[in-house]
Chain A
């Protein structure tokens, strides 16, 4: 459907904007043509003609679209599983994008777990940030997240030990694994590695200089190794607590960096708030230690949105889904999640004393800042992409507040919710 000619300005009226740690009653203007939030103050004082289409949201919450930094697949599709025909893989990604956006996730890092070197050239090029701005495409990749294989075999989680690699020739090892042409944005945006494999931190420095975010994970790093990695440019921790150094009060390991002293700029940290991976009290502890760094991730697998059963994963392994819990077949090992980011967010609101607006930052502003995309994503300021979620609050019998995604807007166009303009 083509937009009518006057469909230039849209105004959300009667809504509360999630800005910083507050829900601010304020209107917001954006353009469905540029797909960006409009600097209405400028328009107001320059007295430009403005016939905005007004959407009265009845007091509901408007937040930037959610950003997911760790998702392995969903709706039966796995980013780490190339298909015989490249077209099938591309179609799989396209289909997933249209499902994922229904959960409020408007942009994300498709995550490829540790794989043999043959998998990367068949997958990564299709996971690059598209560089196009079509609302009907659904959720938008911001570039791939390569979670391994340069990780510690003692902290492999469910990653196949046989495919894990050591770093011996610096960044060349990563280039020969992921392919040199892929090892930069827009293809690869984030790499999870274990810093104990990168003793001089030269790989971290090189990746950061290419615009890739280095996330520390699947690692047994000591506190000192962790601090060294952070000093050399690591700005993220992959699913804190899960497959990271077990904290001890005299050697706090990776977790200890949240309480880092002196001039160290503390990294952000992904955390899986699915009620299985991390005890709620530790989520609260981490958040209270470093609220500005908290990023909720779902770590969802391809079983997201599928019924219970046994599913083929990768490298010849199977995963059993029972309710929300996934385990590697014949083991008690947790194998990612099958929850949505919204469910994680609602758990987080229940477990911590974060306000709704503060909690929303963990899936909007904080990941955007971590990715260096704040101002384009994760923001309601003029010039940012008009990716929004419209949320209602629900209260359960115990008085816990949870959020419901009523509408999703991508590049200024409603794609989820009644009366959506674009056909997904």
Chain B
């Protein structure tokens, strides 16, 4: 759970991050597309700065859902433009439903294939998802943790956040030191997801395999995307609230290297003071040389 700074160096292209990592909690962009572009550019910059090879791959944790959709679009665009390769990137997805086949239209396998994997040069053996068809789900969860460890741990975990502040399928009440396991979905999540299953609550899977909060906390860096007003409470509870298992994203307050990227709408429940503070930090950071988010702005202009 403890990240090991000694083993991991910040990319040299982002010197200010090295100096002020603990302050960079919240990045505010005017709109969902600009917030998504910021995150995609950040991921691209991290991968490229790492110069991954077959022997030394970049290990990336990935979410599904509506929040990361645009991020994946931008990553695909970077790949098409020849600016980003996934040849030496290993991915681990956060979660997968239990009880629907992998090729179900709403499975996270299908989501990842449709929105990212089929468009990039990732090697199939490097794209890891939890296998809900495994006979022994507990063993599958253990295998997954072992596979992450064998890959050298996750270097960057991208995450979304639920309206109730959950990260992956770690619903309110999950242990903040949890590991990969079977999880029963909260009723809110089931009702919310019924829109993807023809509005039929009964056909929404009730359980899922998911990485734990502890699994995410082990990543060297965590980047959370939250856009839209329906995420405003989760952003408030996660950033201004106390750490607690009713808002599992709040665990990231204990992470040495986590940032939350939001659009203006998602800041609606934050105190003005909080918003101003993080905007000031960013303005100060912008004046420093070599800031990675300039890359974001440059790309934004081109797209």
Contacts and interface: CB of A to CB of B under 8 A. Distances in A.
Contacts of B109: 41, 45
A380 to B, nearest CB: 13
B119 A44 contact: no
A44 B113 contact: yes
B13 interface: no
Interface string B83-115: 000000000000000000011000001100110
B124 A47 contact: yes
B103 A25 contact: no
Chain B interface residue count: which class?
A: 10 to 19
Contacts of B119: 25-27
A45 B129 contact: yes
Contacts of B275: none
Interface in A268-307: none
A43 B103 CA distance: 11
B125 interface: yes
Interface string A30-50: 000000000111111101001
Contacts of B103: 39, 41-42
A343 to B, nearest CB: 33
Interface residues of A, number: 12
A45 B102 CA distance: 9
Contacts, number: 31
Interface string B147-174: 0000000000000000000000000000
Nearest to A14: B80
B23 interface: no
Nearest to A48: B124
Contact of B113 (A25, A41, A47): A41
B12 interface: no
Interface string B125-138: 10101000000000
B113 A45 contact: yes
Contacts of A39: 103
Contact of B118 (A27, A47, A50): A27
B106 to A, nearest CB: 13
B61 to A, nearest CB: 18
Interface in A168-185: none
B110 A44 contact: no
A407 B124 CA distance: 30
A43 B109 CA distance: 12
A45 B125 CA distance: 8
A47 B117 CA distance: 13
A43 B124 CA distance: 9
A40 B103 CA distance: 11
Main SS at interface, chain B: helix
A34 B110 CA distance: 24
A47 B129 contact: no
Nearest to B114: A41
Contacts of A41: 103, 109-110, 113-114, 118
Nearest to A47: B124
A306 to B, nearest CB: 45
Given A27-B119, A41-B118, A47 B110 contact: no
Contact of A26 (B118, B124, B129): B118
Contacts of A47: 124-125
A39 B109 CA distance: 13
A83 to B, nearest CB: 50
A27 B119 CA distance: 7
A16 to B, nearest CB: 12
A335 B114 CA distance: 48
Given A45-B129, A47-B124, A40 B118 contact: yes
Contact of B127 (A40, A43, A44, A50): A44
Nearest to A46: B124
Contacts of B127: 44-45
Interface centre among A26, A39, A42, A44 (most CB of B within 10 A): A44
Nearest to A39: B103
B129 to A, nearest CB: 7
Nearest to A44: B124
Contacts of A27: 118-119
Contacts of A25: 80, 119
Contacts of B118: 26-27, 40-41, 44
Contacts of B129: 45
A47 B118 CA distance: 13
Nearest to B128: A45
A41 B110 CA distance: 7
B255 to A, nearest CB: 30
Interface string A1-45: 000000000000000000000000111000000000001111111
A47 B113 CA distance: 13
Nearest to B101: A42
Contacts of A42: 102-103
A292 to B, nearest CB: 20
Interface string A44-62: 1101001000000000000
A43, A45, A47: which has the most chain B beta carbons within 10 Å?
A45
Nearest to B126: A47
A39 B110 CA distance: 11
Nearest to A49: B124
A330 B117 CA distance: 64
A120 to B, nearest CB: 45
A241 B110 CA distance: 44
B95 to A, nearest CB: 15
A47 to B, nearest CB: 5
A25 B79 CA distance: 13
Interface string A326-357: 00000000000000000000000000000000
B100 to A, nearest CB: 14
B303 to A, nearest CB: 14
Given A26-B118, A27-B119, A50-B124, 15 more contacts: A25-B119, A26-B119, A27-B118, A39-B103, A40-B118, A41-B109, A41-B113, A41-B114, A44-B124, A44-B127, A45-B102, A45-B109, A45-B113, A45-B127, A47-B125
Going nearest first, the 8 A-B pairs with the smallest beta carbon separation are A41-B113, A47-B124, A44-B124, A47-B125, A45-B109, A42-B103, A45-B102, A44-B113
20 contacts: A25-B80, A25-B119, A26-B118, A27-B119, A39-B103, A40-B118, A41-B103, A41-B109, A41-B110, A41-B113, A41-B114, A42-B102, A43-B124, A44-B117, A44-B118, A45-B109, A45-B113, A45-B127, A45-B129, A50-B124
